[in-house]
Structure 1
Amino acid sequence: MIRKAKAVWHGTGRAGDGNLTSDSGVLEQTPYSFKTRFENEKGTNPEELIAAAHAGCFTMALAFALQGAGLTPTELTTEAAVTLEPEGQGFRISRSALTLRAKVPNLDEATFTKLAGEAEKNCPVSKVLNAAITLDAKLV
């Protein structure tokens, strides 16, 4: 399986701008720029997309793990907070902090902690990130 997206950029790093398009069409010339990345202007940025990918990947991995254990979640809500920090002349993504709140009938805390930890380690996005990953998982 191969998934693709395309970035188009015009101009300099600070004054220029660009757009992102994914093969699925979910992103269709979605704007991004220095201002959407560093100044919170409307649009997206690579770190936000990585956070969405990590939250989605982990949550789906956990859903499969729960299914394998014969459990059906009522709701799994995950937020991923990706940290971008200066490094040398550039930047690096140093951390992705996952916060999970789960409603899963008939699930004990020990099994929940085990399955959530395994899902975090086994989701493909976790495996590709060269960053510290933390998980705050709670049954609600």
Structure 2
Amino acid sequence: MKTQGSAVWQGGLKDGRGAISTKSGALSAYPYGFAARFEGKPGTNPEELIGAAHAGCFTMALSLILGEAGLTAERMETTAEVTLDKQPDGFAITAVHLTLKAKIPGADQAKFEELTGKAKAGCPVSKVLNAKITLDATLES
């Protein structure tokens, strides 16, 4: 499987503007730029998109792993907090912290921790990131 995303940029770093699009159309010329990335202004940024992708990937991977264990989630909600740090050679994504709240009938805490750990390590987005990935997972009753 192959898919794609694209970006267009006009202007300099601080005064320029960009637009990000996805093949699916989920994003279509959605604005991004320096102010959205570094100054908290409206728009998106690559780190936010990586966070959404990681949260989605991890949650889908966990759904697969749960199914293989004979379990089905009633509900799972994952957020991914992405840390962008200034390094001597530029900026780098140094960490992603996943937070999961899940309601999984029939799951006990030990099995839940085992399966969430497998999903964290095994999801394709986790595998591509050169960052410390941590997880807080809460099994709700």
**Unaligned stretches of 5+ residues in structure 2:** none
Which residue of the partner structure matches residue 127 of structure 2? 127
Secondary structure at the aligned position of 1:78 is classed as strand
- Per the alignment, residue 28 of structure 2 pairs with 28
Hey, what does 2:80 align to over in structure 1?
80
Deviations 1:46-81 (A, max 9, x none): 000000000000000001111111111111111100
Q: How far apart in 1 are the matches of 2:30 and 2:95? A: 25
| CA distance in structure 1 between the aligned counterparts of 2:130 and 2:104, rounded to whole angstroms | 31
**2:61 is the counterpart of 1:58:** no
Deviation for aligned residue 1:89: 4.4
Matches within 5 A, 1:1-140: 1-140=1-140
What's the CA shift for 1:41?
1.3
Tell me by how many angstroms 1:4 deviates. 0.4
In structure 1, stretches of 5+ residues that fail to align are none
Dislocated runs of 4+, deviation >6 Å: none
2:33 maps to amino acid:
S
Structure 1 position 90, deviation (Å): 1.6
Residue identity matched to 1:39: E
Q: TM-score, normalised by structure 1?
A: 0.98
| Structure 1 vs Structure 2 CA RMSD | 0.7
Q: TM-score, normalised by structure 2?
A: 0.97
Distance 1:27 1:78 in 2: 21
Q: CA deviation at 1:88?
A: 1.6
Percent sequence identity is 54
Separation (CA, whole Å) in 2 of partners of 1:89 and 1:32: 23
2: CA distance between counterparts of 1:11 and 1:86?
A: 23
Cα deviation for residue 3 of structure 1 reads: 1.1
